[in-house]
Structures are given as C-alpha cells and as structure tokens.
Amino acid sequence: MKNVNVAIVGATGAVGTKILEKLVERKFPAKSIKLLASKRSAGVEIKAAGETYIVHETTPEAFEGIDIAFFSAGGSISEKFAHEAVKRGAVVIDNTSFFRMDPNTPLVVPEVNPQELEKHSGIIANPNCSTIQMVAALKPIKDQYGLNRLIVSTYQAVSGAGAEAIDELADQSKQFSERSEIKAEVLPSSSAERHYPIAFNAIPQIDLFDESGYTLEELKMINETKKIFNDYEMSVAATCVRLPVVSGHSESVYIEIDKDNVTVADIHAILKNAPGVVLQDDPATQLYPMPLYSEGKDEVFVGRIRKDLNHPRGFHLWIVSDNLLKGAALNSVQIAEKLLD
C-alpha cells in the first residue's frame, strides 16, 4: 500500500487536528486527505502546512475510495461508521475504546507489539493514551528483567477529555480569578451525574465507575496493558486522576521485576536505548520530566527512577508524554506507517 487516500473522522477535534498535523509533518505518503466530522462542521476550512482542507459530514459514502481511515470522534461514531469504512475497502485505525478489547482487533503500540498488525481484519485499535506511554517505557524493562506487578497512579491532562474540557479549564480559571461563580459541565465525564470544577482541583474520576469501584479509565489501563503485553498473569492496578494541566499525562509507576540485583543504573542503561523514550533523570540537577515541557513532543519521558526501599525487586518511575501525540495522534500515524512498510 503506497500513496494512499486517507480520511480523518473527528478532524475538528483535539486528536483529529493533531493527526492531520502529524501526517503532514511526517510526510505521510497520502494521495489525498479527507476531513470528516459532524454535519455541524461541514464546510469548515482547516489549514495545515499552507494547504486548506474542507471538512465534510461523516456518512457511509464518505469512505468510498478511502484506504486508511483514522477515527477519533467517540466510540458511538466508531460503532456506527467503522464497519462502513471497512466494507468500502479501508483499514480503520480507531482511537476510541470501542474495539480495543475485541479479541479480533489488534491493539497496537508500534514499539511494543508491531507483530499484531499482521492479524488485523480491517480494524486496528489505538490504545488509551495513559496506557501507550506506560507500556512504551516499560516494554524494554519487561523484556530484560520480566515484570510481574505494576501499580500506576496517573495525573492526566484535560485535553484527554477533548476540546470542550480544555475550554472549560480556561473558562474556570478566569471565573476563579474574577471571583465569579465557577461553572462545571464537562468533567469528570460529560455523561456523569455530577460535574466538578477542574481548575485548581484534582478529580479522582476519569470516565464512569464500574460496579467494581474502578473507573472505566482505570479498567482500560489494566486490561489494555495485559492485552498489549500478551501477559494475563501480570498483576496491574491503576488509579486515574484528572489535573488542571492542558496537555501531557504524568504517571507514577511502581513495578516489581523478576530478576534480583538490578540497579537504577541498569534501568537507565536500558531506557537510554529504548525507541521513542527519553531518559530525564538527574536529581542533582533537578532533571525530571514534566507535562509542561512534554507538550508538542513525540517522545515518552522517564525520570525519578528509584529502587523501592523495602522490596528488593521493586522500582518507582515517573513517566510523562503528550497525551495528544504519542498517546493518540502520533501512535495512530505510526501504525499507518507500519502498514505501509
């Protein structure tokens, strides 16, 4: 497959706009790029690298002649249109959670499990943003030393909840500084019964709760990590928290490896050579990753690596990446690039 016709569903959204940017920036061999969104946006013009693209309404017929379709318009739109695209000959790269746990749909991070791509039958799922950056950093450690236990707490940016959530953080920050009433309508989830301000707050709920007491975001991290590593024995726990950060998810990760006598220097050596990973770990010069500085960057940044003080095979890490890039748009475009290899 070379010189393909591409469509982006959700092209006006937080992730969709980044997919277009990445396709252009990485000189993806696209013959044409068709932007799709809701009927409301039909006719809207989007500019990228000097080109003007017109947005069209998403309909089944819009996928005629499309070879690769990126979807990032929410699970219900993927449910409605992904098969329509596949029926018309497209390969779908889906950014929503809709197909991720389907056993017939590969869930792919190109640095971690590219071999899964061969098994696709039309749809490939892009994992959850928090999962992607974590598995990209942990994969080389797991390969070298084994990994039997993982406990992650996330500090997630509002852009993961879409353009509306970014606007809400900006509006609430203004309302706060003007001492006016703070309006909360989007977070923790637009379908949640109660909404809370995100400005100057931390919300320990991302997406809705399951009857287990975990949120759907936490369960995504747990289940997707096992699927991507193809390791269902591994013990994984997650707590996901939303912070008033625009872009860049941060994660405090505790791991227990299989091998004894591994040092922080050993982990440093592995991460220095890991694809897509940048080691930023020097307490003496206060070097550690932060979301503000990961914004707009493609890599996964890792620092604050420490040996646990009690468990001989336990390590703590701090992992940060731009959730809209490696966590979403970039990973999707890298999947498409692998398909063309």
Active-site amino acid positions: 129, 249
Secondary structure of 265-305 as H, E, C letters: HHHHHHHHCCCCEEECCEHHHCECCCHHHHCCCCCEEEEEE
Among 5, 7, 12, 168, binds ligand A2P (CB under 6 A): 12
Q: Measure the CA angle with vertex 290, ends 172 and 265; round to 5°.
A: 160
163 three-class SS? helix
Q: What span, in angstroms and rounded, lies between the C-alpha atoms of 118 and 136?
A: 20
Q: What span, in angstroms and rounded, lies between the C-alpha atoms of 66 and 88?
A: 8
Residue of 201, 193, 211, 198 whose CA lies nearest to 161: 198
Residue at shortest CB range from ligand A2P: 13
Q: Which is nearer to ligand A2P, 73 or 279 (CB)?
A: 73
Q: What span, in angstroms and rounded, lies between the C-alpha atoms of 322 and 327?
A: 6
Of the candidate spans 69-77, 167-175, 186-194, 230-238, the one that interacts with ligand A2P by CB under 6 A turns out to be 69-77
Of the candidate spans 4-12, 59-67, 129-137, 184-192, the one that interacts with ligand A2P by CB under 6 A turns out to be 4-12
The side-by-side arrangement of strands in the sheet containing 149-156 is: 235-242, 149-156, 249-256, 314-321, 300-307, 277-279
- Binding to ligand A2P by residue 33, rule CB under 6 A? no
- Least Å distance, CB 165 to ligand A2P, is 8
Applying the rule CB under 6 A, the residues between 103 and 162 that interact with ligand A2P are: 162
- Least Å distance, CB 162 to ligand A2P, is 3
Q: Which is nearer to ligand A2P, 84 or 231 (CB)?
A: 84
Among 22, 56, 58, 324, binds ligand A2P (CB under 6 A): 58
- Binding to ligand A2P by residue 20, rule CB under 6 A? no
- Binding to ligand A2P by residue 77, rule CB under 6 A? yes
Q: Which is nearer to ligand A2P, 39 or 119 (CB)?
A: 39
Provide the mask over 248-287, with x wherever binding to ligand A2P is found by CB under 6 A and - wherever it is not.
Answer: ----------------------------------------
Of the candidate spans 37-45, 102-110, 122-130, 262-270, the one that interacts with ligand A2P by CB under 6 A turns out to be 37-45
> Quick one: DSSP state of residue 247?
S
Q: Which is nearer to ligand A2P, 35 or 257 (CB)?
A: 35
Applying the rule CB under 6 A, the residues between 158 and 217 that interact with ligand A2P are: 162-164
Amino acid (1-letter code) at residue 242: R
- Binding to ligand A2P by residue 332, rule CB under 6 A? no
Of the candidate spans 9-17, 99-107, 259-267, 288-296, the one that interacts with ligand A2P by CB under 6 A turns out to be 9-17
Contact 107, 94 (CB under 8 A): no
Task: Name the one residue in this structure whose structure tokens are 């969104």.
Answer: 37
Handedness of CA 139, 140, 144, 150 (dihedral sign): negative
Among 5, 6, 7, 16, binds ligand A2P (CB under 6 A): 16
Q: Which is nearer to ligand A2P, 74 or 127 (CB)?
A: 74
Q: How many residues bind ligand A2P (CB under 6 A)?
A: 18
Among 4, 7, 14, 319, binds ligand A2P (CB under 6 A): 14
Following DSSP, what letter does each residue of 73-137 receive, concatenated? S-HHHHHHHHHHHHHTTPEEEE-SSTTTT-TTS-B--TTT-GGGGGG-SSEEEPPPHHHHHHHHH
Footprint on this chain of ligand A2P (rule: CB under 6 A)? 10-16, 37-38, 40-41, 58, 73-74, 77, 162-164
